[in-house]
Amino acid sequence: MTKSYEFNWQKHVPDFLQEGAVFDRFDEDPFVFEPSCHFKVDEFGFFLTWKSDGKEGQLLECSLINSIRPGVVPKDPKILASLEAAGKSEADLDGRIICICSGPDLVNLSFMYMVTDNTETAKKWMEGLRSVIHNFKANNVCPMTCLKKHWMRLSFLTNVNGKIPVRGITRTFGSGKTEKGIFQALKELGLPSGKNDEIEHSAFTFDIFYALTQKICPRTDIEELFKKINGDKSDYLTVEQLVSFLNENQRDPRLNEILFPFYDAKRVMQIIEKYERDADLKKKGK
């Protein structure tokens, strides 16, 4: 029986990063100061997100973070004045600033600074963030995990009201698609579909997002393959049909039969148990 391949791409994200904390943040060029931002990292370690009252949600993809380092006390009087107004004097800033360096390459870099409450918190967050970044295995996750990652991105990028703007969804699927088609797909799923509408965070579940992707970007190639194997007899595959497909179509015939044995009913049942989402079909082995 062929063996299952265990691909453990996920790094452990410390609980304090998932719970988050409130820090001030600033950028030097261009100057941006945002007080009392709630920073946190999602359970998969995909994004560092933050949001403050009256501001839109923002995020930084952890795969783009190059380094986490201690930040020096800023010399810009505008930054110092903003920090002073937030109750943080220049004399108390040493050891409390975290510098996050990020960018798609080694040339185009951006720097963001987080101002923590004390030096112990700064050290704790630097160590925690360093343990999450540089997860190169996460670049090779399966398509379903990629969809979940994109859904999480949309869920984090909320507007000032904490809701998901429809405009953000249309930008996501904008390549080669008219806005009317996207609005219609949202309407069919019972979601707000106006250009300036917004969706409740709780209503935009992953199942809804997945159904939306299937309406906008249907996988006709998979449907054709399914019909080729099963015809129009039913909307599921039996264990025997799946074994035949994996051995005759999916498997590379050049593989050594001893090192890479053929699939059998037992291995196919393991696949069904792991990936089939319908509980009734799972019990029937379909």
| Domain segments of the chain as ranges | 15-139, 142-216, 226-284
Q: What pLDDT does residue 177 have?
A: 61
69 contact partners, CB below 8 Å, separation of at least 6? 98, 99, 101, 126
Pick left, alpha or beta for residue 19 (phi over 0 → left; psi -120 to 50 → alpha; otherwise beta): alpha
Q: What pLDDT does residue 1 have?
A: 60
Q: What pLDDT does residue 281 have?
A: 81
Residue type, 30: P
Q: What pLDDT does residue 274 have?
A: 85
| 15-139 is classed CATH 2.30.29.240 | yes
Instruction: Measure the CA–CA gap between 103 and 94, rounded to whole angstroms.
Output: 26
41 contact partners, CB below 8 Å, separation of at least 6? 13, 17, 18, 20, 47, 48, 49, 62, 128, 129, 132
Condensed to tens digits (0 to 9), the pLDDT of residues 207-235 reads: 999 999 998 888 888 888 888 888 777 77
Instruction: Measure the CA–CA gap between 213 and 261, rounded to whole angstroms.
Output: 36
Q: What pLDDT does residue 135 have?
A: 92
Condensed to tens digits (0 to 9), the pLDDT of residues 52-105 reads: 999 999 999 999 999 999 999 999 999 999 999 988 888 889 999 999 999 988
73 contact partners, CB below 8 Å, separation of at least 6? 90, 93, 94, 97
- The correct CATH number of 226-284 out of 1.10.3720.10, 1.20.1050.10, 1.10.238.10, 3.40.605.10 is 1.10.238.10
How many C-beta atoms surround the C-beta of residue 172 within 10 A? 19
74 contact partners, CB below 8 Å, separation of at least 6? 26, 28, 80, 83, 93, 97, 113
185 contact partners, CB below 8 Å, separation of at least 6? 212, 215, 216
186 contact partners, CB below 8 Å, separation of at least 6? 166, 169, 192, 193, 212
CB 102 within 8 A of CB 112: yes
CB 56 within 8 A of CB 157: yes
DSSP 55-102: S--EEEEGGGEEEEEEPPPP--HHHHHHHHHTT--GGG-TT-EEEEEE
Q: What pLDDT does residue 228 have?
A: 83
CB 38 within 8 A of CB 63: no
- Which residues of the chain are under the pLDDT cut of 70? 1-2, 175-177
Cα 103 versus chain centre, distance: 17
Q: What pLDDT does residue 259 have?
A: 87
Instruction: Measure the CA–CA gap between 54 and 71, rounded to whole angstroms.
Output: 27
Do the domains 226-284 and 15-139 match in fold? Answer: no
